[in-house]
Structure 1
Amino acid sequence: MILLLFLAIFFEALSNKEEVVSDTTSFSIKLNDSILFKRFESINQIYKEKKFDLALKSAFILLDSSKNSSSEIFFRTNYLIGNIFYETSSFKDGIKYFRSNINNVLNDSIFLDVNVKYLKNKILLQNYLRLGSSYHKLNERDSLKIYKDSTLYYYKKIIDFNDLDDSFVNTKAKTYSNLSALYINDKAYDLAKEFAKKAIEINKLNNNKVNEAGALGNLASIYSIEEDYHLAKKLYLEGLELIDNDKSPKAIRFKASLYANLAWVMYNLKDYKAYEYQEFSYDIKDELRNNEFKGIVRRINAEYDVNTAKKLVLKEAENKQLKNQRTFWLFGIGSFIVIVTLLYGLNYYKLRQKNLRLQLTQTQLVQNQNLEKIKSESQVRILNATIDGKESERKQIAETLHDSVSALLSSANLHLQASRGLFKGETPVEINKTQKIIMEASQTIRDLSHTLVSSVLLKFGLKYAIKDMADKYSNSQIKIDTRIGEVVRYEQNFEIKVYNIIQEFINNILKHSKAEKAMIKLDESGGLLYLRISDDGIGFDKNKIINKDGLGLNQIDARIQMMEGEFHIDSSKKNGTVIKVVLPILEKEPINLV
């Protein structure tokens, strides 16, 4: 099975401002205009306080003021605006300003002097890294070739710098980590290893233990994917040792991911200390989730405020133009009102009659729709109750087999084993046969219990149960891959429902699609669980088959509706199938300790 928890570490370089963004005050250009400089410092302080709406509005005004009077302030402000858009996930808007900064630096005469070569390289590297990270984020969202090509282009710009001094080496290390993540997603593991090792080497030379631990985790995750679990375990432990006493937020996030990865590796090595490491990971992640939730709220508010501020600035410019044309528009609107009033008077009677007929038709339509809605909801509730009953019964049977029957058989086997000592000489063949029968019965019961409800699901949760499902169903005819983000343990019945939905879709792929490859993607964002299942099979005409029970789509749709989720299928003949499901998360209830 393939472990994908490395994403939490790889994209630390993309999600953490310290990894990919240098402080906007890092420019060291000598300023001649002290007034503009003070205005910029004031705006930059507002940005640092994450008041993005106020910072953006003031930055737009300063950008316009400094365009023809101060190149230094213009570069700084341009970069600051791009940072605001990046921090609020408006990557496409930010890209415009980072590109503009690069073009200005390459063409401005101030940078022709060899004495400012260091400064020129520093500005270019900052903007190249920002551009590469922005396209990397967009590629993770939409997986378009143009995003990937742009990501590689700007990362290569950084790697090609040969005259970097020590202050620029960290930028290369971040770039290597980002490239390692990119190639792992593309399954180019040799390239991913190469860049991960380069990042480790740089961080070790600079004594940057936190980033070195992250890079070691990256490399270990690659070996885990390749099922070299012993080497992966060694690297994970090295990374944890480096940051054992580090209490910084970044180190804590790395520890959570390293412990989770280590638990999975040790589970595959049949070392059941894995459960202990898994609990370490959950404890850290539970603590981080509260902080991350607050961060999400702040980011959403910031995005809203940034868009509002941008619209406000544009609105002010628009108002200036409208003010010059007010007289013309007032005359035009007045004439239009007079014409409309005349037309309304002439057609009033006809429109009234038509409206009466339309209202009657609409009333009948609404009544019919309400009846259909009530009928549909009743059918969905009945079907959902049936499915809930089946799931509950399967769980109860599995628990009874595992906790009761299996325990009884184990006890009987122990008694038989003890009875061997009562015989002097050779043990009767009947006892040997009886023990063999009991062991076969125990194995059969364990297999049946796992078939009814996945034991991996109950012990480790959705992430590992889905990987186990993909590994079990993959064969010489079809390869099922998984790409699972940072998901945690949820309420158990919710996990069982999601697992059964995924299993039903995979069964349909195996039975009907004739596919050679399939992909299961699962991720959590904003309190929602995003599921995407795709295959390269023969596809189907969804208009003809959506109402048939053969694929179980009605039952799946009913289940998703009752979970207040969304369900969408995109398929056509010979073009494969893509299934998207969005579900509101039902969190695992915390344990109250007395």
Structure 2
Amino acid sequence: MPYKRIYSLLLLLFLSTTNLFSQAENLQKQTKSLAQKATLLMKNENYEKSLILSRQALSQAIALKDNNLIAACYNTIAANFDQLAEFEKALFYYKKGLIYADKTNNNHLKNWINNNLGNIYCFDKKEYAKGIYYYKKSLEYSSKIADSSEILFTKLNISWAYFDIGKFNKGLPYLKYINKHHRIHGDETTIVALNMLNGMYYSHANNPQKAHYYFEKAIELGQKSNEKSDLSFAHQEYSKFLFKIKKFKKAYENLYAYNELTAKLNDEEKLKKVNVAGINLEIDEYKREIDNIKTEYKTSHQILLEKQSKNKFISIIIITILLLFIVFSYLYFQNKQLKQTNNLKDIESKIQENIITASINGQEMERKKIASFLHDNISALLSSAAMHLTIFSTKNQSNSEEITKTKAILIQTHYKIRDLSHRLLPTLLARFGLFYALNDLCEMNSNSTIHFHYSSDVSDETRYDEDYEMKMYFIVSELLNNITNHSEANKAKLHLKELNKQLHIVVKDNGVGFEINQYQTIEGFGLNQIKARINTMEGKFTIISKPNQGTTIEIIAPIDYKS
């Protein structure tokens, strides 16, 4: 009997272990499938679904502790942000992916992440030293896996980066390699860039005949393909060369083609056009709304005062005629006067809330339109100004320090304006909605000092009315800022759920807390403004806090669904 019992226990243990291994294997297959679907969606420009699936895959990969899958998921998330022109976020996730990729033997993945980092530093941030460093790391890994096409692709990027900063001698060895091996290992996606690079080199080497040949060949091939970006660069570099040799008419033709292509590329990234007059009209509308509220308040106040005066007169008559009812009349009218005073206070409080809400709504509308205006117009104008200045200096063969500094200032201003427009109105909120934006907000605000945990019972794909999403995003953003700046907490939670057509939001931290009856007087928290906004939405705003016991804020707001 004892032997049979031991055998049964061992058999049960073996079956349980086998079942666990089978579950882990199935989860790994499911995670790989999700990651592959996310990558395919990204390549097909379906960035919203790609981000959703890649984040799901990332969560499962972290649970599996599979560094290879984690790195691949981070790379896909970063690539989506890269395509959406959110380069700072792309940089953040590429670097996270590289941390996990370096823990694996997947040299193919290391190659691509390093190459993508090189692209951002060279062509978006214009930090060529860092970009070339990552390109060379990419070349190191592509050489290890002996992938000839990736070696050629990476050397093409290195050559381009060196040529872009005028270091032709350093870029020439890489260009020679590409010219030698492109027929065997190259493809249609690199042929336009290769011819353009040859044109740039022969322009530098003062060989007009070959420069003409390669530039025109790059443009011819670019027009046949869908490589608009490479084609626009080819027109730009060709125009620089033509200005250099004083063929101004043809130079301006290519410059015009470059501007036209650049405008088309910019149009593809636009969400809305901004009308400055429209902004002013919105401001005037909100001012009129506030004036109307004040007028209504004065009218109500005047009516109540007139009623009060009339009632006092009647009371005097009644008291004079009927002395027996003096006490009763006194109590009656005093009670009525108290109610009227309370009504006045309620009206005044409601007006204050409406004024605050109207003011903040106006600010958010301005924020939205100004962000689009900065991104779509001012940023494009600065880029154009920098380009024209470059052409001017090339045409006049001027390398003065003032022109160089002016170009640097224009480029720096361009990136600062672009970053400002993203801070005014996050692209992720406009494209993918409230829940995706709040998830990303928690992740971006987390650091070594404090961690924000995000959870939601609502699908990330759920969309509400655009203005409603913007209001709730900035309310939660203000609460998270309060935690970071005032709570001294190291952990915080954001939880969302949808119940009975109402959005329930809970923000909780383990910080120092405060006395609730004192929060109205605390400067910088903005809780009064948030409470006023929720009240005007006919919602509820609750604060639970005690000193040294953390703070919990609960918000219930009726949902304004997307029409």
Bucket of the pairwise TM-score, normalised by the shorter protein: 0.3 to 0.5
TM-score (norm 1): 0.42
Q: Which has the larger radius of gyration?
A: 2
Structure with bigger RCO (C-alpha 8 Å, 6+ apart): 1
